[in-house]
Each structure stands twice: as structure tokens, then as C-alpha cells.
Copies of this chain bind each other. A is one copy, B any other.
Amino acid sequence: MKADIKDPSLDAAGQLRIEWAAREMPVLKLIRERFAREKPLKGLRLSGCLHITSETANLALALQAGGADLVLCASNPLSTQDDVAAALVVEHEIPVHAIRGEDEATYYKHINAALDHKPHITLDDGADLVATAHKERPELIGSIIGGTEMTPTGIIRLRSMERDGALKYSVFAVGEADTKHLFDGRYGTGQSTIDGITRATNILWAGKNVVVCGYGRSGQGVARRAQGLGSHVIVTEVDPTRALEAVTEGYRVMPLSEAAKIGDIFITVTGGLKGIDEAHLLLMKDGAILANSGHFNVEINIPTLESLAAKKRRLRPFIDEYTYHDGRRIFLLGEGRLINLVAAEGSPASVMDMSFANHALCAEFMVKGKEKLAPKVYPVPNEIDREIGRLKLVSMGITIDTLTEEQRKYVESWEAGT
């Protein structure tokens, strides 16, 4: 088997990790059990460019159980769990091309190794397989049935390709499924961001002024969790409707130039650039803590922070203390990288369970309905979304009501305008 991983001997540790994650991923488990019986992916080659983690491993095992011939590479050079990669290769005979900390050349070599597999289906977390296939390996496209894409950013790019007529095969927008987007920001990022900051600092949240920059779904999640720990939450926004939602939830809303003066902890989840910039850095109190849980480490203007500081030292593993010339100290966590990944363990497996289930069921859907697919970005079919919700409830032992025939007719007549 061709594979390129750090160290196959790490497999036992990796296997334990996969098992622990499995415990919180009952939807994938149920899908895996059905796939094992029905083999819907039999005879198909799949290539996945995903974070090589214990959660992804559980997706891989479900796909494999469904009969898929699967190859994996990393969607980010820093997120690979080498022990999980080893377990996939050694215990489960799934070829993996991924080494934590790999350089750019290796990264793209691995993507091409995944494409060498001549996939019928591509699974993406950032559109790298789709993009590389289109740009560099057009000969592969003819045999590709379709793909899946996890990230909002990837979906935006694919839509842009679709508008330009450049997209040559169908891709399912997993990132926009209800069972993905309603849960991962508000519950996954919300909890894990607070968790990362707590692990980094061991601060008491109760009574602190916590400034949440950006009130999208992640911002909503972070704000709720901080409030749930007794913090006094301040939200900054650029969108009036979101700002109003934050006010109506009971948070204070103000410009960051005012919040900067009173915040104890600042958390950026804007999805943009320089949410915290020089003007704000200059206003902060001695002891302010900065963390980012948005897209990239550009949400806080770190170069400017560096230039403002007379002195810098590392106080704890994920805390850098910057001392201004006037003596004020600003604490930057995790070098401004995603604090929930850097200092904690990212979104809990329970959330990834549903996100990844969308990949698995979309792959099955493509195979069953392949003649009808056009080269465009498809929403995840509503019945898949509902099925995942249903399976999650089943796994929790929760049953819900169903409409009676009379009730269904009443609602439908309504929609029919009669």
C-alpha cells in the first residue's frame, strides 16, 4: 500500500484516539453499520483532502465500510494527528498521505497522490482537490461523479467558478447543511473557544468583561458560553441587524474603540482582517488578553502589536506578554492562531459527527442519482439533513412526534393558498 506518514509505530495511540472520538460520533456509527450491510459505495474510488484527525478517521471508516476504495491527504499541513494517520494505515489499511508540519512541496505532493487515485468522488475541506483537478489534472474530471465541500470559503469559491462556467462537476455544499452550520459555530466553536482560553490562562470568567468581536454564528456561540460562565459580554459588529440581535439578547454593543478601554478579554470571530487594529491596541488596559477564533491569524494586527511592544516574553505555553513603553502589558494567546485548535482540541467530536455524516450521505446520494447531476454547487438535499438530525436524536434515545395525515394536509393546504 502506498502511503506517506510520520511513523507507523504510532498506530496504537492513534487507535485509542479514534475509539474515543467514535464514542461521540453515533451518527457516523449508525451510517457505518448500514453502509457495511448495503455497500452503497462498492467499486468506487474516493479521495479525501481533510484534516487528518480522529474525527475524520471515523468518517473514513464509514466510507470504507460502505465499500469505498479510499485515499486520504491533509487539508492543512498543521492539523494532522500523526498517530491517527498511523492507525488508519496500519490498523485499517487506508492509504494516508499526510505528515504534521509538512512543507508546501510535500503538501501538494500529497494532494497529487490523492488525485493519482483517480477518484470517482472527491471530499474537500477547502476545495483543494477540486481546484487542483480543474487546474492541473483536467484528464481526471471525466470520471468524477461529484464532490463535497466543507468550508464556507470553499463553497464561495466554487460558486464563483460556477458563475464563470469553470466548474466541471457537481459539488455538494456540506458546509451549508443545517445539521452542520446550525451547530458547529454556535455549539462547537462557542465551547471550544472558551475552553482554549481557559486552558491557556486558567482565568476566572465570572465577572470579567469579555469583548466578542463579530456576532456571526461563532460569535453568538462564544457570547452565550461566556455569559453562561458569568462574564459580562460586550459585542462589536459592523452589521446593524446582527448588532441589534446582540443587544436584544441582553449584551452590550459598542464600537471596539470604546470596548477596547474596558475589556478584560478580547475574542475575534469576525472572519475578516484586523478586527483588532492599532487604534484599539493603544487603548487597552494593562492586562488585556487577546485571542482569535475566527478564520486566520490576521484578525488581530499582530505585526503592529509587535511594533508597539518594548518587551516580549513567553509567560506560559500559549501566552506571550507584550509590554508597552508605558508599562501596560497585553497578553496574546496562541500567537493569534485559532485558539480552540492551538490550546484546546477544536470542535468536539459530537459536532463533527453531523458535519461528516453529510459527506458520507452526499457521497451515497451522488452514486444513486448520478445521471441527474449537473456541474454546479448543490445544497445538501433536505432529506439528508433531516436524516442526520433524526439519527442524532435516535442515538440520544430521543423520539419525536410525526404529523398525522390530517395535520399534514392542513399545513399543505395552507401552503397551497387555499
Q: Which residues of A contact B (CB under 8 A)?
A: 16, 19-20, 23-24, 153, 156-157, 159-161, 178-179, 182-183, 187-188, 191, 195, 198-199, 202-207, 224-225, 227-233, 236-241, 243-245, 247-256, 271-274, 277, 287, 315-316, 319, 344-345, 348-351, 385-390, 392-393, 396, 398-404, 406-407, 410-411, 414-417
Known contacts A389-B244, A411-B272, A253 near B204 by CB under 8 Å:
no
Q: Which residues of B contact A229 (CB under 8 A)?
A: 191, 225, 228
Of B20, B240, B243, B251, the residue contacting A319 (CB under 8 A) is B20
Question: A207 CA to B406 CA in the complex, in Å?
Answer: 32
Give the nearest-CB partner of A402 in chain B: B238
Bound-state CA distance A277–B401 (Å) is: 12
- 12 additional A-B pairs beyond A204-B351, A243-B393, beta carbons within 8 Å, are A24-B203, A178-B241, A179-B244, A183-B245, A204-B349, A206-B248, A206-B249, A227-B250, A232-B247, A236-B400, A243-B389, A243-B400
A243-B273 in contact (CB<8A): no
A250 touches B207 (CB 8 A): yes
With the chains together, A23 CA to B156 CA distance in Å?
43
Q: Is A250 within 8 A of B206, CB to CB?
A: yes
Cα distance A202–B392 in the bound complex, in angstroms: 19
Contacts of A272 in B (CB 8 A): 403, 407, 410-411
In angstroms, Cα B411 to Cα A159, docked, is 16
Separation of A417 and B274 alpha carbons in the complex (Å): 20
* Docked complex Cα distance between A254 and B398 (Å): 6
Provide a sorted-by-A list of 29 A–B residue pairs whose CB atoms are within 8 angstroms: A19-B315, A23-B287, A160-B417, A179-B241, A183-B244, A187-B206, A198-B344, A199-B199, A202-B348, A203-B350, A206-B248, A207-B247, A207-B249, A230-B249, A230-B250, A236-B401, A237-B400, A239-B386, A240-B388, A240-B389, A240-B392, A240-B400, A241-B389, A247-B398, A255-B399, A255-B400, A255-B401, A273-B406, A273-B411
Q: Which of B156, B247, B348, B393 contacts A244 (CB 8 A)?
A: B393
User: What B residues does A406 contact at CB under 8 A?
Assistant: 273-274
In Å, the complex CA distance between A249 and B392 comes to: 15
With beta carbons under 8 angstroms apart, the residue of B24, B271, B390 that contacts A240 is B390
In the complex the two chains form, is A20's CB within 8 Å of B316's CB? yes
Complex interface: chain B residues within 8 A of A390 (CB)? 240
C-alpha gap A389/B238 in the complex (Å): 11
Closest to A178 in B: B241
The minimal Cβ–Cβ distance linking A388 to chain B, given in whole angstroms, is: 8
A273 to B232, CA, bound (A): 30
Interface-centre pick from A202, A256, A390 (highest chain B CB count, 10 A): A202
Contact of A414 among B153, B245, B256 (CB under 8 A): B153
Q: Name which of A161, A205, A410 has the most chain B CB atoms within 10 A of its CB.
A: A205
Most buried by B among A157, A240, A273: A240
Write out the residue numbers on chain B whose beta carbons fall within 8 Å of the beta carbon of A250.
206-207, 227, 230-233
Name the distance in Å between A223's Cβ and chain B's nearest Cβ. 12
State the 8 A-B residue pairs at the shortest beta-carbon distance, nearest first. Answer: A228-B228, A240-B389, A160-B417, A204-B348, A204-B350, A273-B410, A157-B417, A241-B389
Identity of the chain B residue whose Cβ is nearest the Cβ of A389 in the assembled complex: B240
Chain B hits for A230, CB < 8 A: 187, 224, 228, 248-250
A418 to B390, CA, bound (A): 38
Instruction: Please name all residues of chain B whose beta carbon is closer than 8 Å to the beta carbon of A183 when the two chains form the complex.
Output: 244-245, 248
Closest CB in chain B relative to A212 CB, distance in Å? 13
Assembled-state Cα–Cα distance A105/B380 (Å) = 49
Residues of B within 8 A of A187 (CB): 204, 206-207, 230, 248
How many Å lie between the Cα of A224 and that of B271 in the bound state? Answer: 28
Given contacts A204-B24, A232-B252, contact A398 B179 (CB under 8 A): no
Whether B156 contacts A415 by the Cβ 8 Å rule is yes
- Measured between alpha carbons, how far is A400 from B270 in the docked complex, in Å? 14
